[in-house]
Amino acid sequence: MSTVWLTIASILATFKIDKYKDEFGNIIEPIVDFKSANIVAYVCLLRLYVTSSACSFVSQIRLPSPFRCSIRPRSSESEKLIFAVAEHVF
């Protein structure tokens, strides 16, 4: 779980995430809408003669609908860091 928090903190420290602007510079407000989705989670850790139907469960969650946003580096130093990591990883 700490990896998730470190990843979120790194993204927020490196990128500036704003509302989307059209070609005239007007801010486009996102429409708040959610869609339901089913997630099948496999929780069978010990495989002791358990049927496959007993190894999974279905949970329903709500996900936000896709929306446009602006994601940019916070600074020139952030941009250099992003490109350095991208060259190293890819």
User: What confidence tens digit (pLDDT) does each residue in 23-39 have?
Assistant: 999 999 998 888 877 76
Does position 66 have pLDDT exceeding 80, yes or no? Answer: yes
pTM here is 0.62
DSSP 75: S
Helix (H, G, I), strand (E, B) or coil at 55: helix
Residue 35: both structure tokens together: 């869609």
What is the residue-wise DSSP string for 36-49?
EEEEEEE---S-SS
- Alpha-carbon distance 10 to 90, whole Å? 19
**Are residues 82 and 72 in contact, defined by beta-carbon separation less than 8 angstroms?**
no
Whether the pLDDT of residue 48 is over 60: the answer is no
Position with higher pLDDT, 82 vs 62: 82
71 pLDDT more than 90: yes
